[in-house]
Amino acid sequence: MKLKILVTAGDGIGPEVTTEAVAALKEIAALGGHEFAFAEKRIGGVAIVQDGTPLPADTLEAALASDAVLLGAVGGNEFNSLPPDKRPEAGLLQIRAALGGFANLRPAFAFKELAVNSPLKAEIVDGADVLFVRELLGGLYFGRPREWNQSSGEAWNTMRYTRDEVARVARIAFELASKRRKKLTSVDKANVLEVSQLWRATVNEVAKEFPGVTVEHQYVDAMAMHLMNRPRDFDVVLTENLFGDILSDESAVITGSLGMLPSATIGGKVNLYEPVHGSAPDIAGKGLANPLGAILTGALILRHSGGLEAEAAAIESAVRKVLERGFRTPDLVRGNTQGLTVLSTKEMGAKVRETVKEKLLALSH
């Protein structure tokens, strides 16, 4: 299998965690005889500083010419006073729009070993396995008009969706649900917003194509609570852009750390892969970042862009094994460290690679 992967590491901990994800992918390539070609380009704050724009033209060109894009994270405190269209985050939104992927898959899987790390009781989180399908190209993020009118002291954004935009992401969510536990929860605010009423009506229409999947609707406020009270009840959770952003970070509480969460954006010209977390300026450059979310994002590249299911599963089970063996980054430790070994970002990456190797060698014998 040949794959051309563009790495846009970005800011803060982005470069630290993508380095480990790329190293894991290189290990997979070496063990399986695959040809993965990696190129690197700038995005975000680092591109603002060096190129004067958060998404340089050559980055976009290289992205469109690859089979997959792996993005670390963008953003930094030094850019906080800039308007939205000048910030590092604008580069991320521009590359998402240009690559065209509208279905952002954010799996939140509660590894048993990390249950103690969740503030929720182990019996609540153990076995939770939720797949968020977040619509990524519509809603408040892209709706127009949008403006901060300084003279009138008003500002507005527009939450807009078309029926087709909802139907296409709903179809992906239903297809995924039909291959999982066959339950889909659609999240909206249909008691208040017209755009949510359109969302709900469209989801119900698409549901008719998938009679094997059970559908339920939840209001986003109640859903925020249900997720914490009974995360195991949810299988696929379909949401619009902003609700999905918020609920997927909330699901970090189920998994024990934001640093555990991967994502894959599909449905467009080129799939985009990003860990869910941001640039974490508070811990950047210190070797404290958890690379597992980025490494698990690498597994999603293998699954969704490479069709390499066994190799993707090997990374996922290596992550599980490393946790079983008591290895942790600092975010995965809460209180008692007895029996645990706390590792740096690089050490954790190396530990996963070692274990991936064991897994794949065992498979080939």
Site of interaction with ligand IPM (CB under 6 A): 75, 89, 92-93, 245, 276, 278
- Residue selected from 6, 48, 74, 108 as contacting ligand NAD according to rule CB under 6 A: 74
Total of residues contacting Mn ion (CB under 5 A): 1
Cα distances (angstroms) measured from residue 49 to each of 58, 65, 124: 15, 25, 45
For residues 214 and 66, give the distance between their C-alpha atoms in angstroms, rounded to a whole number: 37
**Min dist. Cβ of residue 93 to ligand IPM (A):** 6
CA distances from 128 to 111, 118, 258 (A): 8, 12, 15
Among 283, 312, 323, 356, binds ligand NAD (CB under 6 A): 283
Is residue 26 part of the annotated active site? The answer reads no
CA 20 – CA 335 distance, rounded (Å): 26
Binding to ligand NAD by CB under 6 A, coded x per residue (else -) over 303-332, reads ----------------------------x-
SS3 at position 119: coil
Minimum separation from the CB atom of position 57 to Mn ion (A): 26
290 contacts ligand NAD (rule: CB under 6 A): yes
Furthest C-alpha separation in the chain: 71
Interacting residue with ligand NAD among 279, 297, 305, 355 (CB under 6 A): 279
Cα distances (angstroms) measured from residue 191 to each of 159, 197, 200: 15, 8, 11
Residue with tokens 């889909």: 184
37 has which bridge partners? 4
Whether 16 contacts 277, CB under 8 Å: no
Asked whether position 135 contacts Mn ion by CB under 5 A, the answer is no
Report what 293 binds from ligand NAD, ligand IPM, Mn ion, none; CB cut-off 5-8 Å by kind: ligand NAD
Out of 20, 245, 250, 331, the residue judged to bind Mn ion by CB under 5 A: 245
For the bound state, the minimum distance from the C-beta of residue 46 to ligand NAD, rounded and expressed in Å, comes to 12
Which among 11, 41, 141, 273 is annotated as catalytic?
141
- Report residue 351 as tokens: 């530990």
3-state secondary structure string, 321-345? HHHHCCEECHHHCCCCCCCCEECCH
Is residue 138 a contact point for ligand NAD (CB under 6 A)? no
Closest residue to ligand IPM: CB criterion: 89
Catalytic pick among 58, 85, 221, 233: 221
Task: Give the list of residues 6+ apart from residue 210 with CB closer than 8 angstroms, or none.
Answer: 174, 175, 177, 178
Which one of ligand IPM, Mn ion, ligand NAD, none interacts with residue 283, CB within 5 to 8 A by kind? Answer: ligand NAD
- Cα separation of the two ends of the chain: 21
Question: Which region among 149-157, 164-172, 211-219, 274-282 touches ligand NAD (by CB under 6 A)?
Answer: 274-282
Q: Residue 166 and residue 187: Cα distance in Å, rounded?
A: 12
Asked if residue 277 binds ligand NAD (CB under 6 A), the reply is: yes
Active-site residue flag, 58: no
CB-side neighbour CA atoms (13 Å) of 363: 16
CA distance 27 to 342: 23
User: Among this protein's residues, is 51 annotated catalytic?
Assistant: no
**Which region among 60-68, 71-79, 100-108, 309-317 touches ligand NAD (by CB under 6 A)?**
71-79
Q: Is 89 in the site for Mn ion (CB under 5 A)?
A: no
From the list ligand NAD, Mn ion, ligand IPM, none, pick the one residue 143 interacts with, judged by a Cβ distance below 5 to 8 Å according to partner type.
none
Which CB atom, from 262 or from 306, has the smaller least distance to ligand NAD?
Answer: 262
User: Which residues are the active-site residues?
Assistant: 141, 189, 221, 245, 249
| Contact residues: Mn ion, CB under 5 A | 245
